[in-house]
Amino acid sequence: MKPFSILIKPASADCNLRCDYCFYINHLNQQSSNPRMSEETLELMIKSYMSTNQDKHYTFGWQGGEPTIMGLKFFQKAVEFQKKYAPPGATISNGLQTNGTLITEDWAKFLAEYRFLLGVSLDGPDYLHDHYRKTIGMKPTHKMVLRGIEHLRNNSVEFNILSLINSQNVEKASEIYHYFIQNDFYYHQYIPCVEFSENGTLQPFSITGKQWGLFLTELFKEWIKEDINRVSIRLFDSIMEYLVYGKYNVCQMQEDCRQYFVVEYDGGVYPCDFFVRDDLLLGNIKTHNWEKLTKSKIYEDFGTQKANWNLECDKCPYLSLCHGDCQKFRYASPNKSRQISILCEGWKIFYTRTLPQFASIAENYKLRNKIESLTTFKLRKVGRNDSCPCGSGKKFKVCCGKP
């Protein structure tokens, strides 16, 4: 069985905020009771997952809604179950995506002890962040998030900043970027806000493809000035991963959408966070084992639909970097649609203007690492006047052996 990770929604869509652009909150209206994962479901999920062959590495992502409304005791119990059912030699990774408003010192101490990696939602300075991100009582949340981040920092908890790029902040790439740097946030993830109405038009808080492309281009211009080795931007890291190693580390770039499973509070299993729908319910951990879930016809059809991209994509020089883009951005997918991604124009703008520079950075990186590895080898086995092992035909002392 191919290794996979699980994304768990222990409180489903329930949240202490009511962000205008939240795509998941509608699930609350479809649930008859207060959604909370029971201890029995939690134990069964962890036990069954850790009984699968994952090359001894098990990855748990906790998300919502807002997962911290489950309370600290729930997560302490989760860690207990992970310890109990971990096979010998296993490594366990826990990631938690949070709005940060409920993080206390006790939470931060626990997260630090068990090395959780957090993604904290922050859309920029207060006037941008608070426009859409408010409490149930419609109060601003920016200060609450910064207070939670302070607790994380006090306890050396690792965290990334997750920024949703929407209609209010899409033209503020430089301002947002420098705001994060000024606050010593060096790990960023920028996510495009794209939500469709029932007739396929964009919701008012969404962005267009062109806006996305211009945002990323402006972001790149700021990053490349002096922050290549200081600031991690997930998209840029993923591009470099592909250019240097030929590997994809985000599902949006891949040709198939079968990398993880979503587990809802009641044990229901779905193929993707963006597609928790009745027609895409794969089964339930209470009645289905993981092998059966991975072989589900629904899961197979969903995964392979990614490659059912628009025919125009075959002509695109950037196909290998998106493979038709995330199905969320292709209206009507995954129902056999060949709709082109709403962000296509933006990706073309961005890659046309930046890919040559990314390629240059990648080549310099590969050359530098080649020289470093050769240096270790040559100092042991290659004389200064011998031919350089890099194949240049030059003497080692005037090629890779230069000080």
DSSP per position, 149-173:
HHHHHHTT--EEEEEEE-TTTTT-H
Report the alpha-carbon distance of residue 344 to residue 299 in Å, rounded: 25
Q: Residue length, the chain?
A: 403
Give the strands of the sheet with 283-284, arranged side by side: 232-233, 187-192, 159-165, 117-121, 91-98, 57-62, 5-9, 260-264, 268-270, 283-284
| Cis amide leading into 334 (omega within 30) | yes
Contacts of 279 (CB under 8 A, 6+ apart): 298
Are 35 and 66 within 8 A, CB to CB?
no
Helix, strand, coil % in the chain, rounded to nearest 5: 45, 15, 40
Sign of CA dihedral 346, 347, 352, 353: positive
Q: Determine the residue type at 254.
A: Q
DSSP-based three-state secondary structure for 202: strand
Contacts of 200 (CB under 8 A, 6+ apart): 331, 332
From the candidates 126, 227, 237, 273, give the one annotated as an active-site residue. Answer: 273
Q: Which of 292, 252, 258, 286 is nearest to 272 (CA)?
A: 258
Q: Within 13 A of 73's CA, how many CA atoms are on the CB side?
A: 2
> Using alpha carbons only, what angle is made at residue 154 by residues 66 and 114, rounded to the nearest 5 degrees?
60
Say whether 273 is catalytic: yes
Q: What are phi and psi of 216, to 5 degrees?
A: -65, -35
Are 308 and 336 within 8 A, CB to CB?
yes
Active-site residue list: 273
